[in-house]
Amino acid sequence: MHVSGFFDAMPAGPEREPAPYVPPAWHQPPPDELPGRVALDAVLHRDDATVLWLRDLSVYDTGIAVALRWTRRRRDESADDWNRLIHGELWHGSSPREHGLLVGFELADGRRVFPADPSAWFGPDSRDPEPPTLSMLGGGGGGGEDRYSGDIDTWLWSPGGVRGDLELVLVWRALGIDELRYRVDGGLIAGASRPRLLWADAGGADDEVPDASYPPDGDDTAASA
């Protein structure tokens, strides 16, 4: 029940909506574009318990989103060891460099791109980093007492596109994966369909993005190193 009082006469302030957050270009792929895709499903590692594969590349004018998938089945681990692996050691362990997931890329010109620390580029004095940069986008996962599967999604920001071969470098010692490399032929990247705008008024890298068909003509396999 309302009770009249002193503050009834206080004027109401104007309603203001907070300014929408616009992620910087280096942080994630363009949200209003449908990329060209290079389907690979290339198995990078397989042992008795773990399979890791490179699913596909999503090609934009400003970079490439790289999608990895993995699955782990329980073998002779106890319930405690299984839970410790899946919910702890798999991602962090005693040190990310010793046990956790490490992903990087080597470009055709020899430059190496490592995961960026976004905290360095957020804040009142922040500035966009110099490209190319690599952002770990996270990914989902799930499973149970006998199997666990998950996604690893990354964004390689490189305005103007990625030219030439692209080499993925990955280490995940918690899963028994020492340094591995996989090279994607630059011809596959160059042959991907151009990105398309989701809406005509969304804006993007080009004023008009062609509605090209997919897949492009030509070989759709990748060459591993």
Domain holding 128: CATH number?
2.60.40
Q: What are the angstrom distances between the C-alpha of 52 and each of 42, 143, 162? A: 9, 16, 24
Structural domain including 119 reads 34-197
Structural domain contains residue 27: no
Q: How far is CA 120 from CA 115, 129, 175, in A?
A: 12, 9, 30
| Residue 223 falls inside a structural domain | no
Q: Give the pLDDT of residue 4.
A: 66
In a domain, 12, yes or no: no
The rounded distance, in Å, linking the Cα atoms of 218 and 192 is: 10
Is 146 part of a structural domain of the chain?
A: yes
Walking along the chain (225 residues) 10 residues at a time, the average pLDDT comes out as 71 79 88 95 96 97 96 94 84 60 95 83 73 87 89 94 95 91 97 92 56 40 40
**Parallel/antiparallel/unpaired status of strands 177-184 and 166-172:** antiparallel
65 contact partners, CB below 8 Å, separation of at least 6:
29, 35, 57, 58, 137, 153, 154, 155, 156
Cα R_g (the chain), whole angstroms: 22
Question: What pLDDT, on the 0 to 100 scale, is given for residue 97?
Answer: 62
Question: Which residues lie below 8 Å from residue 74, measured CB to CB, with a gap of 6+?
Answer: 49, 82, 145, 146, 147
Give dist(CA 105, CA 113) in Å, integer. 5
pTM: 0.78
Q: How many domains does the chain have?
A: 1
Residue 17 lies in a domain: no
Tell me if 55 sits within 8 A of 150, measured CB to CB. no
